[in-house]
């Protein structure tokens, strides 16, 4: 499925993005306000939503809240360059990644491809593989995960990052490797994306028997999923 939902009130910009995406083989639907965009996203007919944060009325952050209340579809945010507050809030609310505006259609398309490549990837270890680390069980082919038998409600990026950590359980994984393998792009300077996603994962995963989080920060090395 390669149907992209573009949600942005800048009609000219959206038209330019849509034209480029269609040339690259995507189907595109455009919405110009957050309310209509969220309603369309929740129909389930799209592979990914590209959502501008700054829109009049029901803005991008509110649209993201509405989408995340009923869907785990990938969401790529468009944010103002240097606007860290909205960017971090969006990631905390479940956005998968962001692109800072102004950006080129080529850059946007590359980011969309990176997210979909990870979301729709065939598991490396073949069909039917099960990853088990302590109370964590992951089924990459089905993109399902449980903790102590209870379903984990993860975004696509959270699932990707947790899968990378599970495949390397007991060993630290650098933030750059997590970005490359989990987000499909190199880690940018001053990028807090990985930190925000891992913070969210800590809240969703249960503690170890001794009360510690199973996701540990390893000084100057990255993050590690602890084996029990």
The 10s digit of each residue's pLDDT in 164-184 is: 999 999 999 999 999 999 888
Establish whether domains 3-119 and 131-225 are of one fold: no
User: Of the given ranges (20-29, 118-127, 155-164), which has the lowest mean pLDDT?
Assistant: 118-127
> Between 1.10.10.10, 3.30.56.10, 1.10.579.10, 3.40.640.10, what CATH number should domain 131-225 receive?
1.10.10.10
> Between 1.10.390.10, 3.40.50.2300, 3.40.50.280, 3.40.50.720, what CATH number should domain 3-119 receive?
3.40.50.2300
Which sequence spans correspond to the domains of the chain? 3-119, 131-225
At 205, list the tokens. 């995963």
Write down the pLDDT at residue 124: 55
Across residues 95-111, what is the average pLDDT?
93
């Amino acid at each position: 499925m390669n149907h992209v939902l573009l949600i942005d009130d800048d009609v000219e910009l959206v038209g330019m993005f849509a034209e480029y995406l269609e040339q690259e083989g995507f189907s595109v639907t455009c919405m110009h306000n957050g309310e209509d965009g969220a309603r369309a996203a929740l129909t389930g007919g799209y592979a990914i939503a590209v959502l501008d944060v700054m829109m009049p009325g029901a803005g991008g952050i509110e649209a993201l809240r509405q989408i995340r209340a009923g869907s785990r579809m990938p969401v790529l945010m468009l944010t103002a360059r240097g606007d860290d507050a909205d960017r971090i809030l969006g990631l905390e609310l479940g956005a998968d990644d962001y692109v800072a505006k102004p950006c080129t259609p080529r850059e946007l398309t590359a980011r969309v491809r990176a997210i979909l490549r990870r979301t729709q990837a065939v598991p490396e270890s073949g069909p039917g593989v099960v990853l088990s680390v302590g109370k964590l069980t992951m089924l990459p082919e089905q993109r399902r995960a449980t903790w102590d038998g209870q379903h984990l409600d993860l975004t696509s990026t959270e699932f990707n990052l947790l899968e990378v950590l599970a495949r390397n359980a007991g060993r630290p994984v650098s933030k750059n490797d997590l970005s490359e393998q989990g987000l499909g792009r190199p880690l940018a300077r001053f990028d807090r994306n990985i930190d925000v996603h891992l913070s969210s994962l800590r809240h969703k995963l249960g503690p170890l028997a001794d009360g510690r989080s199973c996701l540990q920060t390893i000084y100057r090395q990255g993050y590690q999923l602890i084996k029990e």
